[in-house]
Amino acid sequence: MIAAAPSSVPLVSLRDVWKVFESVTVLRGIDLDIYPGRVLALLGGNGSGKSTMVKILSGAYQPTAGVIEVKGVPTVLSHPSDAHAKGIYMVPQEPHIFPNLSVMENLTAGLKGDPDANEARALTVAREIGLDTDFDSPGGELSIASQQLVEITRGLLRNARVLILDEPTSSLTRREVANLARQMKELKARGIGLLFISHRLNEVLELTDDTQVLRDGRIVLNAPSAELTTDMLVEAMLPADFAPPSDITERDPGTASSPSDKSAVLSVRNLSSRLFRDVSFDVYPGEVLGISGVVGSGRTELAEAIYGIDAFAKGEVHIAGRAAPRRSPQISQAMGLSYVPEDRHAHGIFLALPSSQTVTAGLLSLGRSRFMKRDHELSLTQEFIDRLRIKLSSPLQVARTLSGGNQQKVVLAKTLAPAPRVIILDEPTRGIDARARQDVYRTIRELTAEGVGVVVISSEVGEIAEVADRVMVMRRGRLVPLPGGPKSVEQISAATFAANGAAA
């Protein structure tokens, strides 16, 4: 159903591609085409399978099943250099820079053929696409935007016909994004096919020709970008069983809907760090504060600063009414603040251990006891298995073998075990299935009923609308003021993704 079907043969296609990792199915039959001179946008929430798909396209992973076609010919890409030879190059989200090599060495790394000729060409190409820097200085000193230009240059030096840009704008400034947009247009004009991956809906609509939306490893929307609106994109990214939410009518913490005699369980005043500035807010018992923000908006850095991971934050934090000038994960938890991190595998769960050991890990440093009580560990885990509906064969099942949703519930159990007064959930439903998602939301409601203050950080506006009592939007390290009164999903989307020029 490719509208405005380009007459030419696609440069690269995926046909019914599947991928399974660690017993978890990530891609479920993907079809996709990239045409010369067109920009295809790929949208999808965290964990939707985007990055896996991109790695299959670039030869870093092999599909479990399915075919990759290059100009209509089935091809096996067993190594990134195979993909390069076929004219496919990926510009990764975090550019692969060799910090200790010079910029020139970074550009020519991995190129075959005469080194001097390569350097001369690299210089020409780099200048053409606007990379203007001291080519002898170490690569580690480049700004992120320049690092991305280095990656694009690398692709062009390999005569790439297809360039994959994996969330290129997530850590760029506005001006840098504008420059990137200009370069993309140039590349299009040369007949290069682009796959553009982004979180920012307005960029997708402005910069691309076609859009595909990926959800839970499947393509759920495929249409020309010109026919789409941000609302349609937001809707496509929402879970299948998601009921369109009504507007969020904010409860004033001082009104009857929230008992006024309760003081804030978390209050943040003028908190600043490297990646966010001057953030102030309060969280009251029994309410859910939603913080809407995309990757790179400073939302995760904010959460980590409050929780005590980032030691460089300046400002005041009060947890459960007590000042917390020095914070560490241990101190925060002891004072009643828990945190569910954004990156489950890197920061949340002990993958190689029995699930029960993750569940009790947070409790250990809080209790007085220096000894393990195995029976208690098992019964506590069982309690959470019942409460959160975690599906596992026994509390001793190794966490790695659980599905994403159940892993997230185990992390949630770890965070809830110390019975926190306030809890920050960062992307709590990233990459988990619809049922697990509902269980997470149900747990959040149960917590508020018990009087716990909850902060939900998410880049999915639908999620914010579903769970939040009050909304804040974070963009580029600052809170964006929103108009008073009920807020529609559209308003929040607009502020979060900076669509329609709705800036502060």
Partner 1 sequence: MIKRIVKSREFLVLALLVAMIFAVSTVNAAVLRPLTLINIVNSSLFLILIAIGQMFVVMTRGIDVSVGAIAGLSAVIFGIALNAGIPLPIAMLCALLTGCLCGSVNAAGIVFVGIPPIIMTLGTLGAYRGLMRVLTGGSWIESIPQSIKTLAVTRYMSVPLMVWAVAALVIILAVLLYRIKAVRNFYAVGDNREGAYLLGINVRATEFTAYALAGVFAGAAAIVFTGQIGFVPMQTGSGQELKAIAAVVLGGVSLMGGTGTIWSAVIGALFLTTVDSMMIFLKVPGSWNNAVAGGVLLAIVVFDYLIRRTVRNRQLAMRAAEMHHAEQDHDTPLQPKEAVR
Partner 2 sequence: MKGLTVFRSWEFMLAVVLVLELLVLGLINPAFLNIENLLFSTSDFAHVIIAAIGLTLIIMTGGIDISGVSIMGLASIVLGLAFIAGIPIGFAVVIALGVGIAAGALNGAVVANTDVNPLIVTLATLFLYAGVATGLPTLLDILGFQAYGAGGFEAYQYEGITGLPKTFTWIGSGRIGWVPMPLVIALLLAAAATWLMLFTRFGRYLKLIGVSPAVAHFTGVPIKRTLVAVYAMNGFAVAVGGLVLTAYLGSARSDLGSEALLSIITAVVLGGSSIYGGQGSVLGTLLAGFVLGFMRQGLLALGISSDVVPVLIGVLLVGSVALRIGLARLSTARANRAAFAAERMAVEGNGGMP
Residue ranges binding partner 2 (CB under 8 A): 18, 20-25, 28-29, 64-65, 218, 240, 309, 328-330, 332-333, 339, 341, 346-353, 357, 361-362, 364-367, 369-372, 401, 414
For residues 468 and 287, the answer to whether their CB atoms sit within 8 Å is no
**What is the footprint of partner 1 within residues 408-427 (CB under 8 A)?**
none
Q: Which is nearer to partner 1, 25 or 171 (CB)?
A: 171
269: number of Cβ within 10 Å: 13
119: number of Cβ within 10 Å: 16
Q: Which is nearer to partner 2, 284 or 339 (CB)?
A: 339
Q: Which of 2, 9, 67, 178 binds partner 1 (CB under 8 A)?
A: 178
For residues 466 and 245, the answer to whether their CB atoms sit within 8 Å is yes
Q: Is 211 in the site for partner 1 (CB under 8 A)?
A: no
Where would I find the beta strands (DSSP E) of 22-175?
24-34, 39-44, 65-70, 73-75, 88-91, 162-166
What is the DSSP pairing of strand 422-426 with strand 337-340?
Answer: parallel
Q: Is 105 in the site for partner 1 (CB under 8 A)?
A: yes
Burial zone of 326 (CB within 10 Å; 0-12 exposed, 13-18 middle, 19+ buried): exposed
Q: Which is nearer to partner 2, 85 or 378 (CB)?
A: 378
Distance of closest approach, residue 316 Cβ to partner 1, in angstroms = 20
For residues 170 and 93, the answer to whether their CB atoms sit within 8 Å is yes
Q: At which residue do the structure tokens 């060409």 appear?
A: 121
Q: Which is nearer to partner 2, 245 or 329 (CB)?
A: 329
Q: Which of 127, 190, 269, 274 binds partner 1 (CB under 8 A)?
A: 274
Q: Is 376 in the site for partner 1 (CB under 8 A)?
A: no
Distance of closest approach, residue 178 Cβ to partner 1, in angstroms = 5
Q: Is 181 in the site for partner 1 (CB under 8 A)?
A: yes
Q: Which of 400, 50, 58 is nearest to 213 (CA)?
A: 50
Taking residues 6 to 25 in sequence order and writing x for each that binds partner 1 by CB under 8 A, - otherwise, the string is: --------------------
Q: Which of 60, 69, 56, 50 is nearest to 217 (CA)?
A: 50
Q: Which of 8, 132, 134, 185 binds partner 1 (CB under 8 A)?
A: 185
Instruction: Determine the interface stretch with partner 1 among 6-14, 95-103, 244-252, 360-368 (rule: CB under 8 A).
Output: 95-103
Q: Which of 59, 60, 53, 52 is nearest to 14 (CA)?
A: 53
The partner in contact with residue 121, picked from partner 1, partner 2, none with C-beta cut-offs of 5 to 8 angstroms by kind, is: none
Q: Is 203 in the site for partner 1 (CB under 8 A)?
A: yes
Q: Which is nearer to partner 1, 88 or 399 (CB)?
A: 88
Instruction: Determine the interface stretch with partner 1 among 127-135, 262-270, 330-338, 471-479 (rule: CB under 8 A).
Output: 471-479
Instruction: Determine the interface stretch with partner 1 among 7-15, 68-76, 454-462, 473-481 (rule: CB under 8 A).
Output: 473-481
Q: At which residue do the structure tokens 């029995």 appear?
A: 354
Give, as one character, the DSSP assignment of residue 115.
H
Instruction: Sheet with 266-272: list strands edge to edge.
Output: 279-283, 266-272, 314-319, 322-323
Q: Which is nearer to partner 2, 22 or 252 (CB)?
A: 22
Distance of closest approach, residue 147 Cβ to partner 1, in angstroms = 11
Residues β-bridged to residue 68? 14, 75
Q: Which is nearer to partner 2, 86 or 215 (CB)?
A: 215
Q: Which of 9, 72, 79, 255 binds partner 1 (CB under 8 A)?
A: 79
Residues β-bridged to residue 281? 268
What whole-number distance in Å separates Cα of residue 297 and Cα of residue 471? Answer: 15
Q: Which is nearer to partner 2, 255 or 394 (CB)?
A: 394
Which DSSP string corresponds to 489-500?
Answer: HHHHHHHHHTGG
Q: Which is nearer to partner 2, 218 or 262 (CB)?
A: 218
Pair of tokens at residue 454: 């909850």
Q: At which residue do the structure tokens 């990379």 appear?
A: 131
Q: Which of 360, 348, 495, 316 is nearest to 432 (CA)?
A: 348
Q: Which of 12, 34, 160, 275 binds partner 1 (CB under 8 A)?
A: 275
Q: Is 173 in the site for partner 1 (CB under 8 A)?
A: yes
174: number of Cβ within 10 Å: 11
For residues 253 and 59, the answer to whether their CB atoms sit within 8 Å is no
Amino acid present at 421? R
**What is the footprint of partner 1 within residues 220-249 (CB under 8 A)?**
226, 229
CA distances (Å), origin 494, targets 258, 434, 439, 500 = 28, 25, 28, 7
Q: Is 84 in the site for partner 1 (CB under 8 A)?
A: yes
What torsion do the CA atoms of 271, 446, 347, 92 make, to the nearest 10 degrees?
-80
Distance of closest approach, residue 354 Cβ to partner 2, in angstroms = 10
Q: Which is nearer to partner 2, 135 or 350 (CB)?
A: 350
Q: At which residue do the structure tokens 């110390």 appear?
A: 418
Q: Which of 315, 478, 488, 490 binds partner 1 (CB under 8 A)?
A: 478
Distance of closest approach, residue 27 Cβ to partner 2, in angstroms = 10
Contact positions vs partner 1 (CB under 8 A): 58, 60, 79-81, 84, 90, 92, 96-101, 105, 108-110, 115, 140-141, 143-144, 154, 158, 173-178, 181-182, 185, 203, 205-207, 226, 229, 273-275, 277, 476-478, 501, 503
